[in-house]
Amino acid sequence: MSDSNPEPEPAPVGNTPDEIAAALTRLYTFFVKIGYVTEAEMKWPPHSPDDLDVEYCKEQGLTEDVIALLQKIPWTTATCPGSEFTVHFEVESFLINFSNRAGIETGRFTFGEGDDPVMEPHFVALATRDCGLGRIIAIDAQSGVLFFDPKATDYSDPDPNPDETGNAVAYIDDLLREFSSLEQIPANGLILHPWCVQEFLEVDARVWYAKTKEALSDYGWPDSFRVADFRRDINWPLFKRWSAEAYEARMLEKQRQGVESGMAQLSMDSANESAGGGT
């Protein structure tokens, strides 16, 4: 007799700060290679006091584990909530710049509720919602486990409690694999206008997304990506041309379907007439 109570899923395996730092270094090295961010916009460890204000981290209540993690990981300064060039982990989840006090504060302001909605001091967010959308991606510096909160798909208040955990290195390496293979396109940043890198329900954006994937491959993505040529050639007039071509194709398909439907109706009418004449 089978057990009706399913086995609980095993707890995710945590990672060490060095493992997390190495995974983030792989991802950010890729971002620089493809022109998503520039080398000048990167902060690589070891961090100087100008890069990371340790005293302010302590004032914000961050634990020594969090501070030690921040001192080991890279981040980018090319991130600004609400900007079309904000650098994202996932669509609508922007990366945090810990080189300024606002970034340090943002790294804490996440899962809680009430007048002081901050995480426990041993948590720090690597990415958070952009203008209220997306989801927060945080590290528990004690366990090395990655935590996600529920994804907000509109501007209503999401559940403030983290509802998913994961392996940090596996998550980061999966992102790198998906970006490298164009399973998904890095959102925003300096490569593309954000309109063409989000698969909205609107027909035009779906067309832009598919066409952009094709174009990225044509321009040598990822290992020989000609980013300057791509930025020059893939532009708003081209998006409009793609939309016009897609619209024309949709109209031709509707005409074809209309003709086929009309022919089918004529055939049915003819069959009915023949059947009626034979009675």
Q: pLDDT digit string (tens) for 137-159?
A: 899 999 999 888 755 444 344 44
Q: Which residues pair with 75 in a beta bridge?
A: 43
Q: Which residues neighbour 225 within 8 Å (Cβ) at sequence distance 6 or greater? A: 33, 34, 35, 216, 219
What are the domain boundaries of the chain? 17-191, 201-279
> pLDDT tens digits for 4-33?
666 656 666 789 999 999 999 999 999 999
What single letter denotes the amino acid at residue 68?
Answer: A
* pLDDT tens-digit map of 41-70: 999 999 999 999 999 999 999 999 999 999
- Across the beta sheet with 145-148, the strand order is 88-90, 93-95, 123-129, 137-140, 145-148, 164-167
The predicted pLDDT at position 108 comes to: 82
pLDDT over threshold 60, residue 261: yes
Strands annotated E in the chain? 42-43, 75-76, 88-90, 93-95, 123-129, 137-140, 145-148, 164-167
Question: DSSP of 172-229, one letter per residue?
Answer: HHHHHHHHHHTSSPPPBTTTS-GGGSS--SSHHHHHHHHHHHHHHHHTTTTTT--HHH
Residue with the two structure tokens 């720090």: 124
